[in-house]
Chains A and B, each alone.
Chain A
């Protein structure tokens, strides 16, 4: 049985000017211990998807369709109490900025043990020793001392380690990491990613890694989905996506990586910006920015086609025009 299976998930935000659809027909699945990356620009709906899994979309947003099966149980049908016993206990989440996710006025220890007290009948002593144990597992220096310190006394990397330790405390089988390294500097980023990878492999924990950085995902995850304007535009094994991207948007993302540029040349970029939810273009949402745009792209929404082991939503997919134009260009130069 799949650990998590999201089927045709729709999330809608009700507003005066009409309903805004933040997620449309999003599907993906995750086996136990598997690692999945979700890529996309800001506003693509990555974080909304994460919050939707935990049923924590705040008003006026709501899940307007689809199902989220976690270990066979549909999370969209659970009562608030049942959902609370899953949050933090079976599914944990790690946020982008460890400065912001730790409460500045409570000590590290208080915040860590809170998770245990919320989900288990446990004595303060036992909670403390469990927390210290987990702090050791995330390779934090002198855990005893950190336990009684306040977040502002720790460095960025240490704070993120504390957050990861908190996520591991309850032996969750799924961790959702929403841009866990974006707020850290590059050397610390690599350390934290290695740590996450190590811990997930060790404990057979599933990981959903949300990021806008394809290179991070390619290091860590086995599968990836690419999102654009609330839709999944391409999904498949990570190496397929990196080496043989089918969707022009994915190709653009890969082309925009600094590694793809020859020294002395300008970095590649995808022209234009992500459309806002209130005026998503008709047809394929990517059509105003697409280099391969055809007449049909402006009128009809592409359906999914399977190409090898990837699934892609593009009218041009599979036709002779695709391939990886950007990398081809580089091959020539």
Chain B
């Protein structure tokens, strides 16, 4: 079964165009490296940035090895607290990617359910849900997140917040961006439900839920897949922006964004690497995701030709 599915994939148009697209291959390899490296951070990283015993404040602000004052132990130098930058980046991208993926799962869950219901049932319910989406979209994600996270910190204190930071970020980013999914799914459902196969399954006597999830949803998967790659990149950027503003991950458990933020005050004193290196990592991570998203969109939408 798995073997035949694999063979089917190897013979598919997706794989065919993937093999001929160098940018897609490169992006895919880079992305996989990121995922593997960050999720095996505890094995790969030379230090554990969460373990205070391994951190020595005397090692702070050591530049990367290739510079004059570099230290063999710290490949990419250290930050202001003496943490090894390479290890911190690995652990940090793990947090960033985790938040990105789970926030998008939440967005997808909300957006797909609401979009399906809205498109399938139509009428007043559709109007209500879509106006809700309009209202949600008229607030920018960052604004909603800033207000929400700031209020939470003020109400429950920073200590509790630091414990729940990951969950809070996932919730906020997830809830703020569902309308993108809802709109895409709804538009596709509107097109799909006019097709005869939907009449045919209604004639069979299936219930609405079964028709929506088993018959219509699989037909809208390709646009969902395309926006998912872009949305994960967006979620990672949102998280980084929030962390940069001091509302995201705490400095003790830095994500890429909070790492950039923590280095920012030292950038004029010459310690550029604390900000620039995580910044480059973030840009590359987001870039390859967007490139893969572009590739998927081109392949899965036959109506869109590119010369």
Residues of A whose CB lies within 8 Å of any CB of B are 54, 56, 59, 83-89, 92-93, 95-97, 100-106, 114-115, 118-119, 163, 166
Contact = CB atoms under 8 A, between A and B. Distances in A.
A85 B205 contact: yes
Interface string B50-93: 00000000000000000000000000000000000000000000
B304 interface: no
Interface stretch (B192-200, B231-239, B292-300): B192-200
Interface of B: 123, 195-197, 199-207, 210, 214-215, 218-219, 221
B197 A102 contact: yes
Given A101-B200, A103-B219, A105-B218, A118 B195 contact: no
B201 A114 contact: yes
10 contacts: A87-B203, A93-B200, A100-B195, A100-B197, A102-B200, A103-B197, A103-B219, A106-B218, A114-B214, A115-B204
B207 A101 contact: no
B230 to A, nearest CB: 23
Contacts of A96: 196
B199 A56 contact: yes
Contact of A88 (B123, B196, B203): B203
A89 B205 CA distance: 8
Interface centre among A83, A84, A89, A96 (most CB of B within 10 A): A84
B302 to A, nearest CB: 13
B197 A92 contact: no
Interface centre among A84, A96, A97, A105 (most CB of B within 10 A): A105
Contacts of A102: 197, 200
A118 B199 contact: no
A95 B200 CA distance: 7
Contacts of B196: 95-97, 100-101
A114 B206 contact: yes
Given A100-B195, A100-B196, A118-B210, A105 B219 contact: yes
Nearest to A163: B200
| Shortest beta-carbon contacts, A-B, top 6 | A87-B205, A88-B204, A100-B196, A88-B205, A101-B200, A93-B203
A166 B199 CA distance: 14
Contacts of B206: 84, 88, 114, 118
Given A87-B205, A105-B219, A106-B218, 14 more contacts: A59-B123, A83-B205, A87-B204, A88-B205, A92-B204, A93-B200, A100-B195, A104-B197, A106-B215, A114-B201, A115-B204, A118-B204, A118-B210, A166-B204
B205 A86 contact: yes
Nearest to B122: A59
Contacts of A166: 204
A84 B207 contact: yes
A34 B278 CA distance: 77
A119 B207 CA distance: 11
